[in-house]
Structure 1
Amino acid sequence: MRWLWTPAWIARHVAMVVLVVGFLGLGWWQISRATAGNSISWGYAVEWPVFAGFVVYVWWREVRLARRKVAEADAPQVDTAAEPAPAVTTGSRPAVRRPVRVARVPAASEAVEDRDLAAYNDYLSWLNANPGARPGDYPG
Structure 2
Amino acid sequence: MSETGTVPGTLDAMRRLWTPTWIARHVAMVVLALGFLGLGWWQVSRAAAGNSLSWGYAVEWPIFAGFVVYVWWREVKLARRGADEADAPPADPADAPAPAVTAGSRPAVRRPVRVSRVPVDGDAVEDTDLAAYNHYLSWLSANPGARPGDYPG
Q: What range describes the TM-score normalised by the shorter chain of this pair?
A: 0.5 to 0.7
TM-score (norm 1): 0.68
Structure 1 segments, 4+ long, off by >6 Å, are none
Q: Which residue of 2 aligns with 1:24?
A: 37
1:136 aligns with 2:146: yes
The structural deviation recorded for 1:64 is 0.2
Unaligned runs of 5+ in 2: 1-13, 107-124
* Structure number, greater radius of gyration: 2
- Count matched residues: 119
Judged with a 3 Å threshold, the aligned counterparts in structure 2 of structure 1 residues 95 and 70 are, in CA distance, closer, same or farther, namely: farther
Unaligned runs of 5+ in 1: 89-93, 99-108
Q: Distance in 1 between matches of 2:70 and 2:76?
A: 10
1:59 aligns with 2:61: no
Give CA-to-partner distance per residue, 1:92-112, whole Å, 9 cap, x none. Answer: xx89626xxxxxxxxxx9x9x
TM-score (norm 2): 0.63
Q: Which residue of 1 aligns with 2:10?
A: none
Question: Which moves more between the two structures, 24-33 or 9-18?
Answer: 9-18
Alignment of 1:84-103 (within 5 A): 84-87=97-100, 97=105
The structure that is helix-richer by fraction is 1
The one-letter amino acid paired with 2:52 is S
